[in-house]
Structure 1
Amino acid sequence: MVTAAATAHRMRDYKNYCDKKRAANSDCAIYMGKMGMAHWTRTYFKGERYNIMTSNIAEQLNNALVEGRSSPIVELVMFIQGMMTRWFSARRKKSERHRGLMTVEVDKVMIKSMALVSGSKINSVSSGSSQIVGKFGGYDSVVLNQKKCSCKYLDNMKIPCGHAMLAANNLAVRYNTLVQDRSLEGNVCRGDQSNW
């Protein structure tokens, strides 16, 4: 429930998960509340978090280096060089095989997002706005020219959610125009960088 609350895109979803968390374990809810919401939730963070929910990349690298950590320093450096060479080579080969307009990972995310909204209906509101009515009656509003969706996924991740792709299909807009180029935005985080 903590992970679901932390990664929620919409405030109402965040509050729903927090209510469930509070009911299951009030001590956990108090502890998480004392931390400050901007430190651990996507909804309260003022910067651009994308899919990065941790500021401790060193822990991930340490985990990758477990095997070589007990080696002498020269061997450790050679181990790191070999590991990085394998990673970059594998990624280069993967990118050379890919023929899409977006990266392999973005394509995967978009396919998964589209599957989540299958069976939804599209109502055109204006030339750039649509309302997507889901299978169970819920709805989301999409404004394509502003790259915004009420589910907040497109706003936060800068990758089209299923709602945005349905609206794009309806208005004959190409998906790749909805993917925001992060390199043009400068820093990944424009919020309080002292929390990193």
Structure 2
Amino acid sequence: MAKAYRKEDFDYIMSKVGKVDPRVKEYLEEAGYEKWSRCHAPVNRGRMMTSNITECINGCLVEARVLPILGFLEEVRILFAVWNCKNSEIASYINTTLERRFQEILTDNGVKAAGSYLYCVYESGKRYIVDIERGTCSCCQYQIDEISCAHAIAVLKNMKNWIVPDFVDADEVLPLKYRRPPERPKKGRHLKSSESLTSSNHCGKCGRAGHNRRTCGFFPKES
């Protein structure tokens, strides 16, 4: 239910939840759909997915950050080599240029052009409308994830005469304008504004957390 891309599918599953236990449905409504439902989120997931990939790599390299720079780079090389080897082994069992699901859409159902950028993709008896120019699909996965869905990939694979616009071909990719600070990154993640800050400092007089003996208010300084 939380992973549904279309609101029609979400409403159908929510109605089934209400029949099983109305209290659960009321609790989820009070919590707010925009906080946990994918199709009701106020922002797309592209930025979040990119950030999660970065945080995943950072999490795998936490222990290696204490090493010297050469040792750290060697750990990064070994990590990516293992991932590439595993992915290459999985890809070796695929005989087609696309993954099995994408290939089935092309061979069994087919793709039909409905306009200059509009295409109809048929999958399991259902029709999906893909707009390549706007980057949308009627399954809603394309615009929410901001990553090409299976139907968009089938359309791109089916397009034989791919014409790259001049402004795209002439676009120059430049490096970032901002430089990274000359320090090692912190191991701990940055806390959000909604998260409470906990202090590990304890007072030497009263033993309570959040202050030190110089700013202690329970035992004022003697005059």
TM over 0.5: yes
1:94-123 C-alpha deviation (Å, 9 max, x unpaired): 4666999xxx9xxxxx83652674622322
Aligned to 1:178: none
Could you tell me which of 116, 121, 142 is aligned with 2:130? 142
Q: How many residues align?
A: 146
| Structure 2 unpaired stretches of 5+ | 50-55, 67-71, 92-97, 163-175, 177-191, 196-223
One-letter amino acid of the structure 2 residue matched with residue 12 of structure 1 = E
Secondary structure of the corresponding residue to residue 7 of structure 1: coil
Computing the radius of gyration from Cα coordinates, the structure with the larger value is: 2
Aligned to 1:154: 142
Change (3 A) 1:18 1:129: same
Identity across the alignment (%): 16
Secondary structure of the corresponding residue to residue 120 of structure 2: strand
- The answer to whether the 8 Å contact 2:45/2:146 transfers is no
| Structure 1 unpaired stretches of 5+ | 54-59, 65-79, 105-109, 175-183, 185-192
Aligned to 2:109: 120
- The answer to whether the 8 Å contact 2:111/2:120 transfers is yes
What TM-score results when the alignment is normalised by the length of structure 2? 0.51
- The answer to whether the 8 Å contact 1:114/1:161 transfers is no
Q: Report the RMSD for the aligned CA atoms in angstroms.
A: 4.2
Q: Name whichever structure is richer in helix by fraction.
A: 1
Q: CA deviation at 1:89?
A: 5.1
Secondary structure of the corresponding residue to residue 146 of structure 1: coil
Aligned to 2:8: 12
Task: Return the structure number with greater relative CO, CA threshold 8 A, min gap 6.
Answer: 1
1:114-141 C-alpha deviation (Å, 9 max, x unpaired): 26746223221012110112232x1110
Q: Which portions of structure 1, spanning 4 or more consecutive aligned residues, are displaced by more than 6 angstroms? A: 83-87, 193-196
Please give the alpha-carbon distance, in whole angstroms, between the structure 2 residues aligned to 1:42 and 1:195: 21
1:5-36 C-alpha deviation (Å, 9 max, x unpaired): 11111111111111122122221111111101
**Does residue 172 of structure 1 match 2:141?**
no
What TM-score results when the alignment is normalised by the length of structure 1? 0.57
Aligned to 1:56: none
Change (3 A) 1:90 1:139: farther
Change (3 A) 1:29 1:145: same
